[in-house]
Amino acid sequence: MLTCQSFKKSSLLSAFLLVALFSFTSCGGKHEVDSKEVATALNEPKSDATKERDEKFLVRAAEINFEEIMLGKLAQQRTASDDIKAMAKVFEETHRTANSELRAMAMAKKIAVPTAATKSVMEEYDQLNLTDTKDFDREYCSLAVKNHQEAISFFENYTGGNCDEDIKIWALGVLPDIRIHLQKALEMEMQMTSPVSELLPESKRVRL
Protein backbone atom coordinates (compact mmCIF):
# COMPACT_ATOMS: atom_id res chain seq x y z
CA MET A 1 0.00 0.00 0.00
CA LEU A 2 1.37 3.41 -0.98
CA THR A 3 2.05 5.95 1.75
CA CYS A 4 0.93 9.55 1.24
CA GLN A 5 4.51 10.67 0.54
CA SER A 6 5.27 7.85 -1.90
CA PHE A 7 1.96 8.53 -3.69
CA LYS A 8 2.95 12.19 -4.08
CA LYS A 9 6.37 11.19 -5.42
CA SER A 10 4.80 8.73 -7.86
CA SER A 11 2.35 11.38 -9.05
CA LEU A 12 5.14 13.91 -9.42
CA LEU A 13 7.25 11.46 -11.39
CA SER A 14 4.31 10.80 -13.71
CA ALA A 15 3.90 14.54 -14.22
CA PHE A 16 7.58 14.92 -15.11
CA LEU A 17 7.36 12.05 -17.57
CA LEU A 18 4.45 13.79 -19.27
CA VAL A 19 6.43 17.03 -19.41
CA ALA A 20 9.38 15.11 -20.82
CA LEU A 21 7.21 13.56 -23.51
CA PHE A 22 5.76 16.95 -24.42
CA SER A 23 9.21 18.53 -24.58
CA PHE A 24 10.47 15.71 -26.78
CA THR A 25 7.60 15.93 -29.28
CA SER A 26 7.31 19.72 -29.35
CA CYS A 27 11.01 20.54 -29.80
CA GLY A 28 11.77 18.46 -32.85
CA GLY A 29 12.77 15.42 -30.79
CA LYS A 30 15.15 17.28 -28.44
CA HIS A 31 14.95 16.12 -24.82
CA GLU A 32 14.71 19.19 -22.53
CA VAL A 33 13.95 17.78 -19.07
CA ASP A 34 16.92 17.92 -16.68
CA SER A 35 17.36 14.77 -14.56
CA LYS A 36 18.78 16.93 -11.74
CA GLU A 37 15.59 18.98 -11.62
CA VAL A 38 13.53 15.79 -11.61
CA ALA A 39 15.56 14.30 -8.75
CA THR A 40 15.40 17.50 -6.72
CA ALA A 41 11.63 17.73 -7.16
CA LEU A 42 11.13 14.08 -6.25
CA ASN A 43 12.98 14.67 -2.97
CA GLU A 44 10.32 17.19 -1.89
CA PRO A 45 8.95 17.96 0.62
CA LYS A 46 11.89 18.80 2.89
CA SER A 47 10.86 17.60 6.35
CA ASP A 48 14.29 17.19 7.95
CA ALA A 49 17.32 19.51 7.68
CA THR A 50 19.89 16.72 7.82
CA LYS A 51 17.99 14.59 5.29
CA GLU A 52 17.75 17.63 3.00
CA ARG A 53 21.54 18.04 3.25
CA ASP A 54 22.02 14.35 2.37
CA GLU A 55 19.67 14.70 -0.62
CA LYS A 56 21.47 17.76 -1.98
CA PHE A 57 24.82 16.04 -1.55
CA LEU A 58 23.86 12.87 -3.41
CA VAL A 59 22.20 14.83 -6.22
CA ARG A 60 25.29 16.99 -6.74
CA ALA A 61 27.70 14.06 -6.27
CA ALA A 62 25.87 12.15 -9.01
CA GLU A 63 26.17 15.19 -11.28
CA ILE A 64 29.92 15.33 -10.56
CA ASN A 65 30.25 11.66 -11.50
CA PHE A 66 28.40 12.14 -14.79
CA GLU A 67 30.59 15.18 -15.46
CA GLU A 68 33.81 13.18 -15.19
CA ILE A 69 32.35 10.23 -17.10
CA MET A 70 31.26 12.41 -20.03
CA LEU A 71 34.39 14.59 -20.16
CA GLY A 72 36.61 11.52 -19.76
CA LYS A 73 34.93 9.82 -22.71
CA LEU A 74 35.28 12.97 -24.80
CA ALA A 75 38.97 13.34 -23.96
CA GLN A 76 39.67 9.74 -24.98
CA GLN A 77 38.03 10.46 -28.35
CA ARG A 78 39.66 13.85 -28.98
CA THR A 79 43.19 13.74 -27.58
CA ALA A 80 46.25 12.51 -29.45
CA SER A 81 48.22 12.14 -26.20
CA ASP A 82 48.54 8.66 -24.74
CA ASP A 83 49.08 10.17 -21.28
CA ILE A 84 45.89 12.21 -21.36
CA LYS A 85 43.95 9.33 -22.87
CA ALA A 86 45.09 7.08 -20.00
CA MET A 87 44.24 9.72 -17.39
CA ALA A 88 40.80 10.34 -18.89
CA LYS A 89 40.09 6.60 -18.93
CA VAL A 90 40.93 6.34 -15.22
CA PHE A 91 38.68 9.32 -14.45
CA GLU A 92 35.80 7.83 -16.42
CA GLU A 93 36.08 4.34 -14.91
CA THR A 94 36.55 5.55 -11.32
CA HIS A 95 33.55 7.88 -11.46
CA ARG A 96 31.44 5.26 -13.22
CA THR A 97 32.10 2.88 -10.32
CA ALA A 98 31.44 5.65 -7.80
CA ASN A 99 28.17 6.47 -9.52
CA SER A 100 27.00 2.86 -9.34
CA GLU A 101 27.73 2.85 -5.62
CA LEU A 102 25.99 6.20 -5.20
CA ARG A 103 22.84 5.01 -6.96
CA ALA A 104 22.69 1.93 -4.73
CA MET A 105 23.16 4.15 -1.67
CA ALA A 106 20.49 6.57 -2.85
CA MET A 107 18.04 3.74 -3.46
CA ALA A 108 18.63 2.37 0.05
CA LYS A 109 18.08 5.85 1.52
CA LYS A 110 15.03 6.52 -0.71
CA ILE A 111 16.70 9.58 -2.23
CA ALA A 112 16.20 10.47 -5.90
CA VAL A 113 19.36 11.27 -7.88
CA PRO A 114 20.10 12.18 -11.52
CA THR A 115 20.08 9.14 -13.79
CA ALA A 116 21.75 10.87 -16.74
CA ALA A 117 24.10 13.75 -17.46
CA THR A 118 22.44 17.03 -16.48
CA LYS A 119 21.99 20.10 -18.67
CA SER A 120 24.90 21.77 -16.90
CA VAL A 121 27.17 18.81 -17.62
CA MET A 122 26.14 18.65 -21.27
CA GLU A 123 26.73 22.38 -21.70
CA GLU A 124 30.25 21.92 -20.31
CA TYR A 125 30.75 18.89 -22.57
CA ASP A 126 29.58 20.81 -25.66
CA GLN A 127 31.78 23.80 -24.81
CA LEU A 128 34.87 21.62 -24.45
CA ASN A 129 34.05 19.75 -27.65
CA LEU A 130 34.08 23.06 -29.54
CA THR A 131 37.72 23.62 -28.55
CA ASP A 132 40.25 23.49 -31.39
CA THR A 133 42.30 20.31 -31.54
CA LYS A 134 45.54 22.16 -30.79
CA ASP A 135 44.05 23.60 -27.59
CA PHE A 136 41.95 20.64 -26.50
CA ASP A 137 44.49 18.93 -24.21
CA ARG A 138 45.25 22.14 -22.33
CA GLU A 139 41.58 23.01 -21.92
CA TYR A 140 40.67 19.51 -20.74
CA CYS A 141 43.44 19.46 -18.13
CA SER A 142 42.48 22.92 -16.89
CA LEU A 143 38.85 21.85 -16.59
CA ALA A 144 39.83 18.63 -14.81
CA VAL A 145 41.81 20.62 -12.24
CA LYS A 146 38.96 23.06 -11.61
CA ASN A 147 36.28 20.37 -11.37
CA HIS A 148 38.25 18.17 -8.98
CA GLN A 149 39.16 21.12 -6.76
CA GLU A 150 35.49 22.01 -6.52
CA ALA A 151 34.54 18.36 -5.90
CA ILE A 152 37.03 18.03 -3.03
CA SER A 153 35.74 21.21 -1.41
CA PHE A 154 32.14 20.00 -1.81
CA PHE A 155 32.83 16.54 -0.35
CA GLU A 156 34.86 17.94 2.56
CA ASN A 157 32.16 20.47 3.39
CA TYR A 158 29.54 17.71 3.48
CA THR A 159 31.53 15.22 5.56
CA GLY A 160 32.50 17.96 8.02
CA GLY A 161 28.90 18.65 9.04
CA ASN A 162 25.81 16.81 10.21
CA CYS A 163 25.00 14.06 7.74
CA ASP A 164 23.90 10.48 7.31
CA GLU A 165 26.63 8.18 8.64
CA ASP A 166 26.44 5.68 5.76
CA ILE A 167 26.64 8.41 3.12
CA LYS A 168 29.49 10.06 5.02
CA ILE A 169 31.48 6.80 5.04
CA TRP A 170 30.93 6.44 1.28
CA ALA A 171 31.97 10.06 0.65
CA LEU A 172 35.14 9.67 2.75
CA GLY A 173 35.95 6.56 0.75
CA VAL A 174 35.62 8.43 -2.55
CA LEU A 175 37.65 11.50 -1.49
CA PRO A 176 41.10 9.85 -1.82
CA ASP A 177 40.41 8.99 -5.48
CA ILE A 178 39.31 12.57 -6.19
CA ARG A 179 42.50 13.90 -4.59
CA ILE A 180 44.60 11.51 -6.69
CA HIS A 181 42.73 12.66 -9.79
CA LEU A 182 43.44 16.30 -8.92
CA GLN A 183 47.14 15.59 -8.49
CA LYS A 184 47.29 13.81 -11.86
CA ALA A 185 45.42 16.65 -13.55
CA LEU A 186 47.73 19.25 -11.98
CA GLU A 187 50.83 17.36 -13.11
CA MET A 188 49.46 16.98 -16.62
CA GLU A 189 48.42 20.64 -16.76
CA MET A 190 51.92 21.66 -15.70
CA GLN A 191 53.35 19.45 -18.41
CA MET A 192 51.03 21.02 -20.99
CA THR A 193 52.08 24.56 -20.04
CA SER A 194 55.81 23.89 -19.56
CA PRO A 195 57.98 25.40 -22.33
CA VAL A 196 60.46 22.55 -21.87
CA SER A 197 57.82 19.89 -22.47
CA GLU A 198 56.99 21.42 -25.85
CA LEU A 199 60.53 20.63 -26.98
CA LEU A 200 60.50 17.00 -25.85
CA PRO A 201 59.11 14.10 -27.87
CA GLU A 202 56.13 12.43 -26.19
CA SER A 203 58.20 9.35 -25.29
CA LYS A 204 60.47 11.56 -23.14
CA ARG A 205 57.73 13.37 -21.26
CA VAL A 206 56.76 12.64 -17.68
CA ARG A 207 54.45 9.66 -17.33
CA LEU A 208 51.75 9.74 -14.66
In a domain, 130, yes or no: yes
Radius of gyration (C-alpha) of the chain in whole angstroms? 19
CATH code of residue 187? 1.20.1260.10
pTM of the model: 0.77
How would you write 145-186 as a 3-class SS string?
HHHHHHHHHHHHHHHCCCCCHHHHHHHHHHHHHHHHHHHHHH
Q: Percent of the chain beyond pLDDT 70?
A: 75
In our burial notation (b when 16+ CB lie closer than 10 A, e otherwise), range 70-103 reads bbbbbbbebbebebbbbbbebbbebbeebbeebb
In a domain, 89, yes or no: yes
In a domain, 26, yes or no: no
In a domain, 188, yes or no: yes
In a domain, 129, yes or no: yes
Q: Yes or no: say if 178 and 97 are a contact pair by the CB < 8 Å rule.
A: no
Domain that holds residue 73: 49-193
Q: Yes or no: say if 158 and 104 are a contact pair by the CB < 8 Å rule.
A: no
Name the domain count of the chain.
Answer: 1
* pLDDT tens figures, 63-105: 999 999 999 999 999 999 999 999 999 999 999 999 999 999 9
In a domain, 11, yes or no: no
* pLDDT tens figures, 119-149: 999 999 999 999 999 999 999 999 999 999 9
In a domain, 44, yes or no: no
In a domain, 131, yes or no: yes
